[in-house]
Amino acid sequence: MEHKEISKAVLKRLPGYLAYLKNTQEGGSLYISATALANALGMGEVQVRKDLAMVSNGGRPKVGYLRQGLIDDIEQFLGYDNTTDAVLVGAGKLGQALCGYSGFEAYGLNILAAFDLMPAAETTVEGKPILPVSKMQSFCKSHKVLMGIITVPAGQAQRVCDQMIECGIKAIWNFAPTHLEVPEGILVQNENMATSLAVLSMHLQAQIKDKK
Protein backbone atom coordinates (compact mmCIF):
# COMPACT_ATOMS: atom_id res chain seq x y z
CA MET A 1 0.00 0.00 0.00
CA GLU A 2 2.98 2.29 0.52
CA HIS A 3 2.49 5.87 -0.57
CA LYS A 4 0.51 6.78 -3.54
CA GLU A 5 0.88 10.44 -4.29
CA ILE A 6 -1.63 12.35 -2.20
CA SER A 7 -3.40 15.55 -3.16
CA LYS A 8 -3.56 18.55 -0.89
CA ALA A 9 -7.34 18.41 -0.88
CA VAL A 10 -7.29 14.92 0.59
CA LEU A 11 -4.54 15.80 3.03
CA LYS A 12 -6.59 18.62 4.45
CA ARG A 13 -9.54 16.38 5.15
CA LEU A 14 -7.61 13.71 7.00
CA PRO A 15 -7.32 15.62 10.30
CA GLY A 16 -11.10 15.93 10.36
CA TYR A 17 -11.59 12.17 10.12
CA LEU A 18 -8.96 11.63 12.77
CA ALA A 19 -10.53 14.08 15.21
CA TYR A 20 -13.92 12.47 14.82
CA LEU A 21 -12.59 8.95 15.26
CA LYS A 22 -10.72 9.88 18.42
CA ASN A 23 -13.54 11.87 19.96
CA THR A 24 -16.12 9.13 19.55
CA GLN A 25 -13.97 6.25 20.64
CA GLU A 26 -16.26 5.27 23.50
CA GLY A 27 -18.77 2.47 23.63
CA GLY A 28 -19.52 1.51 20.07
CA SER A 29 -18.26 -1.10 17.71
CA LEU A 30 -14.66 -1.91 16.93
CA TYR A 31 -15.47 -1.09 13.33
CA ILE A 32 -16.70 1.97 11.50
CA SER A 33 -17.86 2.26 7.92
CA ALA A 34 -17.06 5.04 5.50
CA THR A 35 -20.80 5.57 5.25
CA ALA A 36 -21.15 6.20 8.97
CA LEU A 37 -18.16 8.54 8.98
CA ALA A 38 -19.51 10.46 6.03
CA ASN A 39 -22.93 10.91 7.62
CA ALA A 40 -21.44 12.08 10.89
CA LEU A 41 -19.32 14.72 9.18
CA GLY A 42 -21.88 15.72 6.58
CA MET A 43 -19.74 14.59 3.66
CA GLY A 44 -20.20 12.37 0.64
CA GLU A 45 -19.56 8.72 1.37
CA VAL A 46 -17.66 8.08 -1.84
CA GLN A 47 -15.27 10.87 -1.05
CA VAL A 48 -14.63 9.55 2.43
CA ARG A 49 -14.05 6.06 1.12
CA LYS A 50 -11.63 7.29 -1.49
CA ASP A 51 -9.75 9.37 1.04
CA LEU A 52 -9.45 6.47 3.42
CA ALA A 53 -8.21 4.25 0.62
CA MET A 54 -5.21 6.58 0.32
CA VAL A 55 -3.99 5.95 3.85
CA SER A 56 -5.49 2.67 4.98
CA ASN A 57 -4.72 -0.82 3.81
CA GLY A 58 -8.35 -1.55 3.40
CA GLY A 59 -11.59 -2.14 5.18
CA ARG A 60 -13.77 -5.20 5.19
CA PRO A 61 -16.89 -5.24 3.06
CA LYS A 62 -20.04 -5.34 5.14
CA VAL A 63 -18.30 -4.29 8.39
CA GLY A 64 -16.12 -1.32 7.50
CA TYR A 65 -12.72 -0.30 8.79
CA LEU A 66 -11.15 -1.34 12.04
CA ARG A 67 -11.53 1.80 14.07
CA GLN A 68 -8.22 1.79 15.87
CA GLY A 69 -6.40 0.66 12.76
CA LEU A 70 -7.75 3.63 10.88
CA ILE A 71 -6.67 6.02 13.62
CA ASP A 72 -3.18 4.54 13.58
CA ASP A 73 -2.96 4.70 9.80
CA ILE A 74 -4.00 8.34 9.60
CA GLU A 75 -1.71 9.34 12.44
CA GLN A 76 1.20 7.57 10.86
CA PHE A 77 0.44 9.04 7.48
CA LEU A 78 0.31 12.56 8.89
CA GLY A 79 3.48 12.00 10.85
CA TYR A 80 1.83 12.50 14.19
CA ASP A 81 3.62 9.50 15.58
CA ASN A 82 7.07 11.07 15.39
CA THR A 83 7.26 14.41 17.11
CA THR A 84 8.27 17.55 15.27
CA ASP A 85 10.14 20.18 17.23
CA ALA A 86 9.41 23.82 16.51
CA VAL A 87 10.38 27.28 17.61
CA LEU A 88 8.07 30.26 17.81
CA VAL A 89 8.96 33.90 17.27
CA GLY A 90 6.74 36.60 18.76
CA ALA A 91 5.86 36.11 22.41
CA GLY A 92 2.74 38.29 22.40
CA LYS A 93 -0.73 37.16 23.31
CA LEU A 94 -1.12 34.87 20.32
CA GLY A 95 2.34 33.41 20.73
CA GLN A 96 1.60 32.71 24.36
CA ALA A 97 -1.70 31.09 23.49
CA LEU A 98 0.02 28.76 21.05
CA CYS A 99 2.79 27.94 23.52
CA GLY A 100 0.16 27.06 26.10
CA TYR A 101 -2.07 25.01 23.84
CA SER A 102 -1.72 21.44 25.02
CA GLY A 103 -3.57 20.04 22.03
CA PHE A 104 -0.52 20.29 19.77
CA GLU A 105 1.07 17.27 21.42
CA ALA A 106 -1.61 15.13 19.85
CA TYR A 107 -0.47 16.38 16.45
CA GLY A 108 3.15 15.56 17.19
CA LEU A 109 4.11 19.20 17.49
CA ASN A 110 6.38 20.30 20.28
CA ILE A 111 7.23 23.97 20.69
CA LEU A 112 10.66 24.00 22.27
CA ALA A 113 11.08 27.71 22.89
CA ALA A 114 9.71 31.16 22.12
CA PHE A 115 11.85 33.99 20.80
CA ASP A 116 11.16 37.68 20.82
CA LEU A 117 12.87 40.75 19.47
CA MET A 118 12.56 42.44 22.82
CA PRO A 119 12.01 39.80 25.46
CA ALA A 120 10.00 41.20 28.35
CA ALA A 121 10.78 40.69 32.00
CA GLU A 122 9.43 37.15 32.04
CA THR A 123 11.83 34.55 30.86
CA THR A 124 9.37 31.72 30.45
CA VAL A 125 5.88 31.29 29.10
CA GLU A 126 3.82 28.21 29.83
CA GLY A 127 6.96 26.47 30.98
CA LYS A 128 8.87 27.33 27.82
CA PRO A 129 11.87 29.65 27.73
CA ILE A 130 11.60 33.05 26.06
CA LEU A 131 14.91 33.93 24.45
CA PRO A 132 16.17 36.87 22.42
CA VAL A 133 16.08 36.32 18.67
CA SER A 134 19.84 36.66 18.55
CA LYS A 135 20.10 33.22 20.12
CA MET A 136 17.77 31.54 17.67
CA GLN A 137 20.42 30.36 15.22
CA SER A 138 22.53 28.46 17.70
CA PHE A 139 19.40 27.07 19.34
CA CYS A 140 17.95 25.76 16.10
CA LYS A 141 21.20 24.26 14.92
CA SER A 142 21.81 22.42 18.16
CA HIS A 143 18.24 21.15 18.42
CA LYS A 144 17.95 20.46 14.69
CA VAL A 145 14.70 22.42 14.47
CA LEU A 146 12.96 22.31 11.08
CA MET A 147 9.70 24.11 11.84
CA GLY A 148 9.14 27.75 12.75
CA ILE A 149 6.01 29.57 13.89
CA ILE A 150 5.68 33.29 13.24
CA THR A 151 3.42 35.30 15.54
CA VAL A 152 4.92 38.77 15.14
CA PRO A 153 3.16 41.79 13.60
CA ALA A 154 2.99 41.84 9.81
CA GLY A 155 5.75 44.42 9.49
CA GLN A 156 8.36 42.20 11.11
CA ALA A 157 7.28 38.90 9.61
CA GLN A 158 9.51 38.88 6.53
CA ARG A 159 12.62 39.63 8.57
CA VAL A 160 11.80 36.87 11.04
CA CYS A 161 11.11 34.54 8.13
CA ASP A 162 14.52 35.26 6.61
CA GLN A 163 16.20 34.60 9.92
CA MET A 164 14.39 31.31 10.31
CA ILE A 165 15.58 30.16 6.91
CA GLU A 166 19.14 31.02 7.88
CA CYS A 167 18.61 28.82 10.90
CA GLY A 168 17.88 25.88 8.61
CA ILE A 169 14.12 25.89 9.07
CA LYS A 170 12.21 24.27 6.19
CA ALA A 171 8.55 24.73 7.13
CA ILE A 172 7.03 27.96 8.39
CA TRP A 173 3.62 28.40 10.00
CA ASN A 174 2.78 32.03 9.47
CA PHE A 175 0.17 33.77 11.61
CA ALA A 176 1.14 37.26 10.44
CA PRO A 177 -1.33 38.63 7.89
CA THR A 178 1.22 39.13 5.15
CA HIS A 179 2.74 37.34 2.17
CA LEU A 180 6.18 35.90 2.81
CA GLU A 181 8.83 35.61 0.13
CA VAL A 182 10.82 32.38 0.42
CA PRO A 183 13.28 30.43 -1.72
CA GLU A 184 12.51 27.11 -3.39
CA GLY A 185 12.07 24.22 -1.02
CA ILE A 186 10.72 26.18 1.92
CA LEU A 187 7.02 25.75 2.68
CA VAL A 188 4.97 28.59 4.11
CA GLN A 189 1.57 27.70 5.50
CA ASN A 190 -0.49 30.80 6.18
CA GLU A 191 -2.94 30.59 9.03
CA ASN A 192 -4.96 33.26 7.46
CA MET A 193 -7.62 34.68 9.72
CA ALA A 194 -8.56 37.19 7.08
CA THR A 195 -9.49 34.38 4.72
CA SER A 196 -11.84 32.82 7.23
CA LEU A 197 -13.36 36.16 8.03
CA ALA A 198 -13.99 36.82 4.36
CA VAL A 199 -15.99 33.61 4.07
CA LEU A 200 -18.01 34.40 7.19
CA SER A 201 -18.58 37.98 6.22
CA MET A 202 -19.85 36.98 2.79
CA HIS A 203 -22.32 34.56 4.35
CA LEU A 204 -23.73 37.27 6.60
CA GLN A 205 -24.07 39.68 3.71
CA ALA A 206 -26.04 37.07 1.78
CA GLN A 207 -28.23 36.45 4.83
CA ILE A 208 -29.02 40.10 5.24
CA LYS A 209 -29.75 40.49 1.56
CA ASP A 210 -32.14 37.53 1.63
CA LYS A 211 -34.19 39.14 4.37
CA LYS A 212 -34.99 42.13 2.26
Partner DNA sequence: TAGATTGTTAATCGATTAACAATC
Cα 91 → chain centroid: 19
Q: Is residue 144 a contact point for a second copy (CB under 8 A)? A: no
Q: Which of 45, 44, 52 is nearest to 17 (CA)?
A: 52
Contact pattern from residue 4 through residue 43 relative to a second copy, giving x for each residue in contact according to CB under 8 A and a dash for the rest: --x-x--xx-xxx-xxx--x----------------xxx-
Q: Is residue 112 a contact point for a second copy (CB under 8 A)? A: no
Q: Is residue 103 a contact point for a second copy (CB under 8 A)? A: yes
Residue 162 burial by Cβ neighbours in a 10 Å radius (0-12, 13-18, 19+): middle
Q: Which of 48, 41, 46, 57 is nearest to 10 (CA)?
A: 48
* Contact with DNA (CB under 7 A) among 17, 65, 173, 175: 65
Nearer to DNA, 9 or 118 (CB): 9
Q: Is residue 101 a contact point for a second copy (CB under 8 A)? A: yes
Q: Which of 27, 20, 31 is nearest to 64 (CA)?
A: 31
* Contact with DNA (CB under 7 A) among 2, 3, 9, 209: 9
Q: Is residue 3 a contact point for DNA (CB under 7 A)? A: no
